[in-house]
Structure 1
Amino acid sequence: MTTITTRRPSPGAPDAPGGSPARRRSHVIADSITMLHRNLLHMVRYPGLSMFTIGGPVVILLLLLFVFGGTLGAGLPGVDPAGGRAAYLAYVMPGILLITIAGTAGGTATTVAMDMTEGITARFRTMAISRTAVLAGHVLGNTIQAIIAVTLVLAVGLLIGFRPTAGPVDWLAAAGLIAFISSAISWLAVGMGMQSKSVETASNLPLLLTILPLLGSGFVPTASMPAGLQWFAQYQPFTPFIETLRGLLLGTPLGWNPVLAIGWCVVIAAAGFVWSTALYERKSVR
Structure 2
Amino acid sequence: MSDIFSNSVLQSFIFSPLMGVLFGALFAGLSAKPTGAAPRTIIETRTVYIERSTRQKKSQSDGGEIYGFAILLFFVAWKYLQFAPTVLYYVELALVSMLSFGLACFTVSTIKAHYIDTNWALRVVVPTVILGLCLLILAKAKRVITPDLVELAGKSNVIEFFMELTQYGRFFSVFHIVGLCLLIFIAIIGTLSLLHYLALMNLRSDSPISGVWSFITRVTFRFSSRGVYVLSLILLGVSAFIVDGTIAQWITPAKATGN
Above 0.5 in TM-score?
no
TM-score range, shorter chain: 0.3 to 0.5
TM-score by length of 2: 0.34
Structure with larger RCO (C-alpha < 8 A, sep 6+): 2
